[in-house]
Amino acid sequence: MISFNEDEYDLLKETFNLAMGQAAADLAVLLKSFVDMVVPDINIVKAEKVVEAIVGDASCWRDEPVTATRQTFYLGNIVDGEAIVAFDDQTFDNVSRLLGFEDKIDRQYKIEIMLEMTNIMVSACLNGISNQLFGKNMSFAPPMVLSENNTYKKIIYGAFQRSQLRWDYTMLAKISFKLKNESFRSEMLLFLSEKAILAIHQSITKLLSDM
């Protein structure tokens, strides 16, 4: 399993921080409100430990109902992975109000908002990372609904049972977004494959050697 030394990890985290900042900025434009972002936690996790890594800490939604989406991404045969984004129900009501569409709050409209926000957040994050490390944009599949009105814990346990996973370990990044003055909460999970970890490590090593 690939590991990052202290200097490599610091540069990796800086790369992710810059990319997440762009995602927060793009979301702020949509919502017309400043978006606060918690510095991402980045770890390389074995498949049998991934559920524990996600729900075993102080995650804010372990037992609350949320709606979750998923979106896959790739960069040729160099990088591939998947993002999962979770939103609480109150988020949709507040976003609808911010956008001036309170009268259209139905199930289909909530799904459309959720998928649009997923696309904005995931593409900004991953393109930010990809451009810094590889000088190219990622490609994305359309986002889709993973689960509606289910607890975060059940969603994660259902999606990441070891027997369902085709990989042995992943790079996992957890990012939380919220509005300072509005009730908006979202948590994004980024999963990068083994080959993606190798490509990222090689790029980080080269960037350090060029400094």
Handedness of CA 121, 93, 98, 103 (dihedral sign): positive
pLDDT winner (highest mean) among 35-39, 117-121, 155-159: 117-121
User: Domains of the chain (ranges plus CATH)?
Assistant: 6-210 (3.40.1550.10)
Mean pLDDT, residues 68-74: 93
- Give me the chain's average pLDDT, please: 83
Mean pLDDT, residues 31-39: 75
Neighbours of 181 (CB within 10 A): 8
Token pair listed for 163: 């027997």
Q: Which residue has the tokens 């696309």?
A: 119
Quote the pTM value: 0.88
- To 10 degrees, the CA torsion angle through 120, 73, 138, 206? 120
pLDDT tens for residues 182-210? 567 788 899 999 999 999 999 999 999 88
Per-residue confidence at 58, pLDDT binned at 50, 70, 90? very low
CA angle 186, 190, 194 (to 5 degrees): 170
Contact 167, 194 (CB under 8 A): yes
Comparing 162 with 121, which gets the higher pLDDT? 121
Between helices 194-210 and 6-31, what is the axis angle to 10°? Answer: 110
Mean pLDDT, residues 139-167: 82
